[in-house]
A and B are shown apart, each in its own frame.
Chain A
Amino acid sequence: MNAEPLVVANCSKWYGHVLGVSDITWRISGGIVGVLGANGAGKTTLMKLMTGLIQPSRGSIDVFGTSPFRQPEVRARIGYAPDHDRTWDEMTVRELVTRLAELAGVDRRRAGAAASAAIELVGLADARDRTVRVLSKGMRQRTKLATAIAHDPDLIVLDEPLTGVDPVARIDLVERIRELAKRGKAICISSHVLYEIEALTDRVAVLDRGRLVADGVVSSIRRQLPQQPYRVRVVCDRPRDLAAALVASTAIASVAIDREAVVADTYEVDRCYTAVAEAVRACDLVVTGMSTLGSDLGALLTALTRGPRE
């Protein structure tokens, strides 16, 4: 079947009176495509539609030429990692990935090997026999990625896979996702943070209050933003050491300490995160949180929607 990985035509979804997505027309031909939007913009609803978890209230959504809700067979070609962490926590990583590979149609005798390969690919080989319950957030994200790819799907749908992941793991996870794209997979990845998507791809779709407000190359969309820095906040055990290390980086415009966190302004987010990761490694710091203060996406959405955010 040579149909396009995804074709969305005038697709709307309501939950009772609540709007999920509204009249979206969109397509994915291949490669990595980012879905951007603030919380509640409709990213997860769109991804659930793409994976057949829910059906459109109006319009149509076809994956490889087939409705994923009505024709379950096509879901063998889809890999999905949901945004939530609720899974079968009592299983080990290997058991979970193996069971889900079996459910995806991988032959029972081959499922173990397929799971091991996927676990290896996401860099979890050392943790394969640990129960999911005890994994860190970053490891859980990798586990979800492994469950999404173990059955070798052609379209991989990842809902906020980088949320809550520390800088070192983030860089690694981004590389793993890029590696999958190099293998010819079509990848759709959502985030509410622009730099996360920029690190992966230059093709994005921007959602706002359920509507598709932009679809294209990041640089052209970014040009609609007023020139302002990104602001990155890193919470760690020794913020003064981290701040001292970051001051030396040319990627950082300014650095400030806010209680137990370091707040860095930058115009080059990729280089900033590389600098943070290097500083964390060099100083042997323990990072407990990291966030990007969302003015960039807010400004982008304001520019795109020509109105203040609610």
Chain B
Amino acid sequence: MTARAAISAIARLTWWRLAHGRGIWLAVAVAMLPIPFAIALRGHASYALRSFEIQQVVLVVLPAILIGMALAGELDDGSITYVWSRPLARWTLIAGKLVAVAPCAIGLVILSWLVTTWLGASGLPTLASIGALGAGALAATAIATALAVSSPRYGTVLALVYMLCDGVIGQIPAQLQRLSIAHDVSELAGLRGSSPLIGALSLAAILAIAIAIAIRRIGTHEA
């Protein structure tokens, strides 16, 4: 079985399970959380900035929920034995899950952002903000994946805790703040006054490190 076929089969299986599970509705509900804030803040002078900050909460929480359903649950409850006993290289599981979950996370985050800005009557969001949120959702999905593989039972909780700490890390006035997805997303969206390129590079580094950890951990995982 080729790696491409394996990734495709895992991704299709994951999509099927996401589409037929109840968890996807929880993810949609989280994606829609900013709507009440958008309505409440409508017409406010700092609406765009405030709504983007709220959007970052969705950005970090939503991937943790999706990966929890798609990966951590299978690793924890033992149903992964059906996958492991198939002729698949371990890394293809990570690739397949990311191929399936990342577009869902990115799509829901961007959809949420479009709805929020539309409700706020502030016009369409900038392409930079859409791209930044999409890149952030991808990085957050990779981190959630690494945590799910490292600790399947507590992966979702750890991911949520990590993501909630992310905002705090982003406020640290030092280079450490580059570890924060929220900070890097703001930078990439051009809201920090610094070069968007630095935000993009920081997100790419977070993404690469998280995927490397996930692949390394899955290689030694025993069902």
- Hey, which bits of chain A sit against chain B, CB under 8 A? 48, 51-55, 72-76, 78, 80, 82, 84, 86-88, 90-91, 95, 99-100, 102-105, 108, 147
Contacts and interface: CB of A to CB of B under 8 A. Distances in A.
Contacts of B5: 105
Interface residues of B, number: 26
Contacts of A84: 78, 81
B223 A76 contact: no
The residue among B16, B87, B90 with the most chain A CB atoms within 10 A of its own CB is B87
A90 B88 contact: no
A228 B61 CA distance: 63
30 contacts: A48-B81, A51-B84, A51-B85, A53-B84, A53-B85, A54-B223, A72-B88, A75-B85, A75-B88, A76-B86, A80-B81, A82-B78, A82-B81, A82-B85, A87-B79, A87-B82, A88-B79, A90-B17, A90-B21, A91-B16, A95-B16, A99-B9, A99-B16, A100-B82, A100-B86, A103-B13, A103-B86, A104-B87, A105-B1, A108-B9
B13 A99 contact: yes
B1 A76 contact: yes
A76 B84 contact: no
Contact of A103 (B21, B77, B78, B83): B83
Contact of A105 (B13, B79, B87): B87
B17 to A, nearest CB: 6
A75 B90 CA distance: 13
Contact of A86 (B6, B77, B89): B77
Nearest to A107: B5
Interface of B: 1, 5-6, 9-10, 12-13, 16-17, 20-21, 77-79, 81-90, 222-223
Contacts of A51: 84-85
8 nearest A-B residue pairs (beta carbon):
A105-B1, A80-B85, A76-B87, A75-B87, A54-B222, A103-B86, A53-B223, A86-B78
Nearest to B21: A90
Nearest to A108: B9
Contacts, number: 79
Contacts of B9: 99, 102-103, 108
The residue among A75, A102, A147 with the most chain B CB atoms within 10 A of its own CB is A102
Given A54-B223, A102-B9, 6 more contacts: A53-B222, A53-B223, A73-B87, A75-B87, A80-B81, A103-B83
A76 B85 CA distance: 9
Contacts of B12: 99, 102
A147 B82 CA distance: 9
Contacts of A86: 77-79
Contacts of B20: 90-91
The residue among B84, B85, B88 with the most chain A CB atoms within 10 A of its own CB is B85
A55 B222 contact: yes
